[in-house]
Structure 1
Amino acid sequence: MSQTVTPADEQPSLADRPDHSGSTGAGFPFTAVVGSDQMALALILCTVSPQIGGVLVRGEKGTAKSTMVRALTAVMPAQTVVDGCRFGCDPTEPDPGCPDGPHRDVGRQVRPARLVELPVGATEDRVIGSLDLQRVLGEGRTTFEPGLLAAAHRGILYVDEVNLLHDHLVDLLLDAAAMGRSTVERDGMSVSHAARIMLVGTMNPEEGELRPQLLDRFGLTVEVTAPRDPALRAEVIGRRMAYDADPSGFRDRFAESEDQLRVRIAAARERLASVVLDDRGLVTIARVCAGFDVDGMRADIVTAKAAIAHAAWQGRDRVLREDIRAAALLALPHRRRRNPFDAPGLDEELLDRLLAEDEPDPEPPTGTDPDSPDPDSPDPDSPDSDSADSDRPEPDNSGEKNATPDKPAPGGSASDTSTDQASQQSDATADDDDREQSDTEMPRGNRPGRVAQADAPYRTRLFTAGGLGSGAAGRRSRAVTSVGRVVRAADRFQRGDRVHLPGTVRAAARHPDRARDRLTIRGDDLRGAITEGRESNLVLLVVDASGSMAARRRMEAVKTATLSLLLDAYQRRDRVALITFAGDHAELALPPTSSVDAAARRMTDLPTGGRTPLAEGLLRAADLIRVERIRDPRRRPLMIVITDGRATYGSDAVDRSRQAADLVRARGIDAVLIDCESGRFRMGLAGQLAHRLQADYVQVEQVAADVIVDAVRSRVPSSGAA
């Protein structure tokens, strides 16, 4: 099949398709949004300098995130594009590899700035483009139909709920953001076009975190919360109600401020190239990024670009310290996170200290440094005058706890250090079971039970659901998904499917009434490709928090294993839920969510104590899975029970736990049982429970993936053995 690209004048323009662009210019005014100054600044800086790389907006629901992003295009300067080019090429610097090119002596067209919305449920062909099957079958020409990346070139690509985006779409965005081009290699077609996009994403952290690779591609990030000032909240309500009552009149009220903002943005763009960032400013940026221990060099580069844009926005031709500070507050918070359990944010006191430091080889101070912080800075004193105090907090906050001879205890106070050391020495000479809190012992009064601290998470074994599923693409269990390796042809073709060429040809060749000298393919001959990959699951953690688990070392192991499983669920894009049981009931500590850091917070603060209501925990888990199967039938559950297998609540505790296990097995729930029993003498109750559940049985010390590797290595002779 020869490759020819249909000329632009024979194909509909993307601008004629309303689903590609949300830039109508008739929404809520940008300058009318109240209480989101940091978000407005981040969006404006990226508009002034698109090379910054876009904005990620994190915030609770109902904080005007989407409203503000959609209103941005109304204050952005208009664009000049090549007339008739479906890819929006710049006439002054056209893309030499544009599929609609080459562009020589072409007309020009001015159009408003474009905002293209990428739905989280979009298919791959709608994002990168695909083969125009209608033209292929009707005219016999290979024609490329551009996707959303082509429509967003030189504009904004907006993804609402970006943290819910499927992994295969995230990979496409990473390629476009890194290379500034989109390359399509599929269905016998090879097309490459420019895709320089300003990526803007909004998300609610309660629904899950973002992949680190995509998180780092966002130049800036802001946290948005609803205002707590009653007067400010009243202003928000009043403006929203006024807009709903008379949208046109409300926009007229803010027309002048919108025009002023548009003019100021255009002026900042023109000033951008003349802004100077000197060597002293570069050293300051490098010192700040190194001081916050960010990974790689992208943070330094983005901070520099944002500082230049901020200076241009403020009407200056030179980058000052306040520009670097504003840029660092936007460019660094999301780059300091090492895992999803780390809280985002930036220590502004540390930032001010880093900004106030002198050059590496300064002259002895003789007076007040003109570049010292402003008088209204949180620390007006010179760093030389309080070095004894300013250098003390960092080692005190982190060094002393980690210097203990045994495991660190995050979250513990300094007064508990001697007690912990004494208890470690005592535990070293006795089994954990000898130190357990009795099942019958309840916390005194209203005081919660003991709270054990977890160690750092480790890489776990891969636990999967059995069989072949059909859920959303992920990284856990085998399934028929939208991405993966092609295994066979489907009986029919649906829009969005990949074409299975051998199956299509075979289907067309079965018709004897067609011409023998030329194979004719019709629409009903098309066959879709069935691909097999990995799916995401609902990982339900059922954790025993009773008194039998209260031995300090045992609960440390349980919490560490649980946090490790949560981290594994985050990396595999699963939804997670957490059920704990202790005393006389089981509690849903966290409903099904993609936010594993919320589950980690619940688990870290979980106290232990009381009897063991094992049956209640299993029944609560079975009921939750029943409800979730109704809500999302395609997402398969994987129940992970972490217990020692004891059941002590109620006179018939053992019989009821067996009946509950039979119910879980009868409902076909895939399960894994992690045995937390320790000590020299083991009762083996967890193994019996695993057999009744027909669950995979794993001891808690075998959850780590390295345990399997070490076990295999110990059985394999070394290469130097005779």
Structure 2
Amino acid sequence: MRHYPFSAVVGSDDMRLALVLTTISPAIGGVLVRGEKGTAKSTTVRALAELLPAQQVVAGCRFGCDPAAIDNACPDGPHDVTDVTTTRPARLVELPVGATEDRVIGSLDLEQALGAGRVRYEPGLLADANRGLLYVDEVNLLHDHLVDLLLDAAAMGRNTVERDGVSISHAARIVLVGTMNPEEGELRPQLLDRFGLTVEVAAPRNPALRAEVVRRRLAYDLDPDGFAARYDEAQEATRTRLAEARELLDGVVLGERALLKIAEICAAFEVDGMRADIVTARAAAAHAAWNGRDRVVKDDLRAAARLALPHRRRRNPFDAPGLDEDLLERLLNDLDDDPDQPDPDPTPTPDDPKDPDHPQPPASPDDPSGRDEQEGQGQPSGPQETPEPGHQDRTDADDADTDAIDTGTAPRLALAAAGKPYRTRRLEARGVGTGDAGRRSRAITTQGRTVGAGLEGRTLHLPATIRAAAPYQAARGRSTGKLRLAAGDLRRTVSEGRESNLVLLVVDASGSMAARRRMEAVKTAVLSLLLDAYQRRDKIGLITFRGAEATLALPPTSSVDTAARRLDELPAGGRTPLAEGLAMAAEVLRRERIRDPRRRPLLVVVTDGRATAGAEALPRATRVAGHLASYDAVVVDCETGRFRLGLAAGLAATMGADLVGLGEIGRDEVSAAGRTIVDTVKDRLSTDPRRKAA
């Protein structure tokens, strides 16, 4: 059965262009396709492989060596020009999310290495994908260290295995293509930057286009071969155009003015490092070749910047990727269609803003007209808000620390904005877990310090292996010579490191939390905890409760930016249904334990401990809290003021949870408090007369 044709894909022009450009110039560094589910991401990537030309390879080489460019370091070598060659189709290798490191980079046959003294290397997926496409669906769900390996191999063009005292290296010239759904979590900015191009895809909103997508898909499902045959002519035209663009690429000229404009654009968008400039230049050259030009022009710069820069503008996980199209057009406005044509004015003056030898800084995005800063100085640029009659600023003393009272009218809801997040102290689960590698709680993982030996692990534990094999040497007929090993003798290192957890945040959004502007501090603290969870590779869940019910604002996910948006939209007001919030937390934790039993949960309840919704609100909350005693938990006490009820402390005691004050969440605040205590003790000791006499 033939794949869905690349030429039959409806819409998704940016995605198809990005895939074409990185196929023309693999040095661009691959493509990351971000989009909602059901947008033909996987279909389009798989269809691209059929457009690639067949390859000549050395017969019998497991690494697909090119006979025209012999790899002298090939583990199956040495090869020479007399070797038999064969032809194979261009490869598309798919990497599953659950792949292990050994399956990706390859592994050594340890029985052969230790028993027979021979090094035998079993190639991995990187070897299979050499000179082809390596496709990673849901790349954001892949372990970070595997993503690092893939990106390093794509950038260097080689895969090197350094393990157990043996070094193996082979060619891995791959075009890396990753797809992801942002709702399931983001990649770290460092990893995003390593992808050359990125593109956002979404389902079309035009009913006619949607109908055409359905029509073509149904036709393909009924007769895949017949449907693909109808696009053979378009497929061949695209295949020919790709081959011609590859031939033309090395001759494309990137002139000085075009190169300067690329640097100007990257500087204006404040991207970090120089990778953006390099990728934009390569993509612009590939775009010119794709359009049959031998020189980079304005349209090439525009297309390259739109694909190479959006994902490099993210500074923290709460920033959404994107590009200011208006700013890009303003930066390109002073260019002709061909930026390297001679200037029509043969004698430009140094003050001429079009003089290429005296480039001018781009206009500020806040002042596109380039007006003098003094113009209108001191005058507001927009309409001013006029306070309503009788309005006055509220102070902390004006707010009552009470819940809304049922008066027959809807309670007043406050929508507070979170402040700037800060570094938090590490909240962690007790004991030692066995979850996936992360940065929060202690666990037996594949990375960390060696604490023992066992049958499972990442690397060989040689002393334990020898001890396991030693008692059986006589029975295996060994009198002298090499150690005789069996598969059951191999022992692996057991490492203790850190694991990622499920951090379930349960946030009180009732009227008592809105009092004294407390909700702003609460949202800032929760936002800081979200940032901390992102950095520690945790899954995040968010439950809020107010009025008469609790709401699962965000089911457990890795997408902390989605949690931040839900938090920002969270209003405060009404009564406090504490029991309902804790009951929903218990249900979410129960479901997640069934779904992922190895991932330990950490429950974080942000509340002042009050319960006012419904009959016997506080006793009900106490009973539900008792059911959560089996989970590791932290209660963040939000109660402030001189007179405190201490209800959060009682809740923490019932749950067997740690109690942390709202002001103690920040690491800096904790350090400052510790320094104050130390300084106080030092002052007392320095003024103690008994210490002076001594």
Counterpart Cα distance in 1 of 2:70 and 2:551: 61
Match of 1:452 among 399, 416, 420: 416
> Is the 2:265–2:328 contact (alpha carbons within 8 Å) kept by the matching residues of 1?
yes
> Is the 2:115–2:485 contact (alpha carbons within 8 Å) kept by the matching residues of 1?
no
- Aligned position for 1:376: none
Counterpart Cα distance in 2 of 1:244 and 1:327: 35
Offset of 1:181 from its aligned partner?
A: 2.3
Structure 2 letter corresponding to 1:517: T
| 1:637-667 residue CA offsets vs partner (Å, 9 max, x unmatched) | 11000111111223412211211211111xx
Residue 83 of structure 2 corresponds to residue 109 of structure 1: no
Offset of 1:366 from its aligned partner?
A: 14
Residue 604 of structure 2 corresponds to residue 640 of structure 1: yes
Q: 1:68 to 1:387 in 2, by over 3 A?
A: closer
- Aligned position for 2:689: none
- Aligned position for 1:574: 538
Match of 1:682 among 617, 641, 644: 644
Structure 1 letter corresponding to 2:74: C
Matching of residues 594-673 of structure 1 within 5 Å: 594-665=558-629, 668-673=630-635
Offset of 1:442 from its aligned partner?
A: 6.8
Counterpart Cα distance in 1 of 2:323 and 2:525: 29
Counterpart Cα distance in 2 of 1:350 and 1:592: 37
- Aligned position for 2:18: 42
- Aligned position for 1:351: 328
- Aligned position for 1:214: 191
Counterpart Cα distance in 1 of 2:126 and 2:678: 51
Counterpart Cα distance in 1 of 2:444 and 2:366: 62
Counterpart Cα distance in 1 of 2:193 and 2:624: 46
Counterpart Cα distance in 2 of 1:437 and 1:106: 87
| 1:381-410 residue CA offsets vs partner (Å, 9 max, x unmatched) | xx99x99763589999xx999x9xxxxxxx
Offset of 1:292 from its aligned partner?
A: 1.1
Greater Cα offset, 78-87 or 327-336 = 78-87
Structure 2 letter corresponding to 1:698: V
Counterpart Cα distance in 2 of 1:400 and 1:331: 38
> Is the 2:548–2:613 contact (alpha carbons within 8 Å) kept by the matching residues of 1?
yes
| 1:676-706 residue CA offsets vs partner (Å, 9 max, x unmatched) | 1122332222122212211111111111122
Match of 1:506 among 437, 443, 467: 467
- Aligned position for 2:499: 535
| 1:68-111 residue CA offsets vs partner (Å, 9 max, x unmatched) | 10111110122233333322333333333322333333433332
- Aligned position for 2:259: 282
Q: 1:233 to 1:283 in 2, by over 3 A?
A: same
Counterpart Cα distance in 1 of 2:619 and 2:598: 33
* SS of residue paired to 1:200: strand
Offset of 1:437 from its aligned partner?
A: 6.0
* SS of residue paired to 2:636: strand
- Aligned position for 2:61: 85
Greater Cα offset, 210-219 or 439-448 = 439-448
* CA root-mean-square deviation: 3.4
Structure 2 letter corresponding to 1:181: R
- Aligned position for 1:264: 241
> Is the 1:443–1:609 contact (alpha carbons within 8 Å) kept by the matching residues of 2?
no
Residue 197 of structure 2 corresponds to residue 235 of structure 1: no
Offset of 1:122 from its aligned partner?
A: 0.6
Q: 1:400 to 1:39 in 2, by over 3 A?
A: farther
Offset of 1:289 from its aligned partner?
A: 1.0
Structure 1 letter corresponding to 2:21: L
- Aligned position for 1:187: 164
Counterpart Cα distance in 2 of 1:443 and 1:391: 56
* SS of residue paired to 1:543: strand
Greater Cα offset, 443-452 or 163-172 = 443-452
Offset of 1:343 from its aligned partner?
A: 1.6
> Is the 1:586–1:616 contact (alpha carbons within 8 Å) kept by the matching residues of 2?
yes
Structure 2 letter corresponding to 1:599: A
Structure 2 letter corresponding to 1:268: A
* SS of residue paired to 1:587: strand
Q: 1:258 to 1:414 in 2, by over 3 A?
A: same
Q: 1:231 to 1:508 in 2, by over 3 A?
A: same
Structure 2 letter corresponding to 1:605: E
Q: 1:682 to 1:603 in 2, by over 3 A?
A: same
Counterpart Cα distance in 2 of 1:212 and 1:436: 43
Offset of 1:555 from its aligned partner?
A: 0.8
Matching of residues 401-480 of structure 1 within 5 Å: 427=395, 430=396, 435-436=399-400, 438-441=402-405, 449-480=413-444
Counterpart Cα distance in 1 of 2:366 and 2:442: 58
Counterpart Cα distance in 2 of 1:700 and 1:159: 42
* SS of residue paired to 2:285: helix
Structure 2 letter corresponding to 1:79: Q
Residue 352 of structure 2 corresponds to residue 390 of structure 1: no
Q: 1:102 to 1:436 in 2, by over 3 A?
A: farther
| 1:238-290 residue CA offsets vs partner (Å, 9 max, x unmatched) | 11111111111111111111111110000001111111111110111111111
Offset of 1:368 from its aligned partner?
A: 14
Structure 1 residue ranges without an equivalent (≥5)? 1-24, 372-382, 404-412
Q: 1:552 to 1:183 in 2, by over 3 A?
A: farther
Counterpart Cα distance in 2 of 1:605 and 1:72: 41
- Aligned position for 1:6: none
Matching of residues 371-382 of structure 1 within 5 Å: none
Counterpart Cα distance in 1 of 2:324 and 2:446: 42
Counterpart Cα distance in 2 of 1:632 and 1:588: 19
| 1:551-605 residue CA offsets vs partner (Å, 9 max, x unmatched) | 3631111111111111111122211111001111111111111111111111001
Counterpart Cα distance in 1 of 2:430 and 2:654: 17
Counterpart Cα distance in 2 of 1:296 and 1:269: 28
Counterpart Cα distance in 2 of 1:179 and 1:234: 44
Offset of 1:64 from its aligned partner?
A: 0.7
Structure 2 letter corresponding to 1:221: T
> Is the 2:437–2:499 contact (alpha carbons within 8 Å) kept by the matching residues of 1?
yes
* SS of residue paired to 2:284: helix
Residue 661 of structure 2 corresponds to residue 699 of structure 1: yes
* SS of residue paired to 1:353: helix
Q: 1:565 to 1:196 in 2, by over 3 A?
A: same
Counterpart Cα distance in 2 of 1:394 and 1:171: 46
Residue 315 of structure 2 corresponds to residue 338 of structure 1: yes
Q: 1:232 to 1:388 in 2, by over 3 A?
A: closer
- Aligned position for 2:690: none
> Is the 2:432–2:444 contact (alpha carbons within 8 Å) kept by the matching residues of 1?
yes
Structure 2 letter corresponding to 1:693: M
The alignment's TM-score, normalised by the length of structure 2, stands at 0.88
Q: 1:199 to 1:389 in 2, by over 3 A?
A: closer
Counterpart Cα distance in 2 of 1:224 and 1:644: 43
Residue 197 of structure 2 corresponds to residue 225 of structure 1: no
- Aligned position for 1:525: 489
| 1:514-558 residue CA offsets vs partner (Å, 9 max, x unmatched) | 324242111222223322222211110000000001136311111
> Is the 1:499–1:528 contact (alpha carbons within 8 Å) kept by the matching residues of 2?
yes
| 1:298-340 residue CA offsets vs partner (Å, 9 max, x unmatched) | 1111111101100110111111111100111111110111112
Residue 76 of structure 2 corresponds to residue 100 of structure 1: yes
Q: 1:544 to 1:274 in 2, by over 3 A?
A: same
Offset of 1:472 from its aligned partner?
A: 1.9
- Aligned position for 2:691: none
> Is the 2:111–2:485 contact (alpha carbons within 8 Å) kept by the matching residues of 1?
no
Counterpart Cα distance in 2 of 1:629 and 1:285: 51
> Is the 1:436–1:550 contact (alpha carbons within 8 Å) kept by the matching residues of 2?
no
Structure 1 letter corresponding to 2:46: R
* SS of residue paired to 1:354: helix
> Is the 1:441–1:547 contact (alpha carbons within 8 Å) kept by the matching residues of 2?
no
The alignment's TM-score, normalised by the length of structure 1, stands at 0.85
Structure 2 letter corresponding to 1:317: D
Offset of 1:152 from its aligned partner?
A: 1.9
Structure 2 letter corresponding to 1:251: A
Counterpart Cα distance in 2 of 1:145 and 1:196: 18
- Aligned position for 1:168: 145
